[in-house]
Amino acid sequence: MAPASKLQSIGIQPVGKRSYELADGTKQMYQFGLVEIRFLNEVTAGRVIFGPEGIEPILGVTALESAGITIDPANQTLRRLPSIPLKLFAA
């Protein structure tokens, strides 16, 4: 998620709209766009949410995991996975 004006200023356009559940449990509709994400010498692709002005940009766990990065909460650091798990989950 990032401020909508910032995303539009770098040429990212909305391609859809979806309901998202916020940390406080409320649901909010936001537009989203599709982007290439680069960090820690990795590249992945995903959705970016067009958030309200003043929102602190955040990178979600889905983007991190798709690039083979995990969060170590004990050390508050990012860690590279030795391999990306391709596990199937039963619905």
- Mapped onto helix, strand or coil, the DSSP state of residue 42 is strand
Q: Where are the domains of the chain?
A: 2-57
Nearest Cα to Cα of residue 60 among 41, 85, 35, 82: 35
User: In this predicted model, what pLDDT tens digit does every residue of 24-44 receive, in sequence order?
Assistant: 999 999 999 999 988 888 888
Q: State residue 34's pLDDT score.
A: 95
Of the candidates 46, 63, 49, the one whose C-alpha atom is nearest the C-alpha of residue 20 is 49
Q: What percent of the chain has pLDDT above 90?
A: 47
Model-level pTM?
Answer: 0.74
Could you report the per-residue pLDDT of 71-90, keeping only the tens digit for each?
888 988 888 888 777 776 66
DSSP letter for each residue of 56-79: PP---HHHHHHTTEEEETTTTEEE
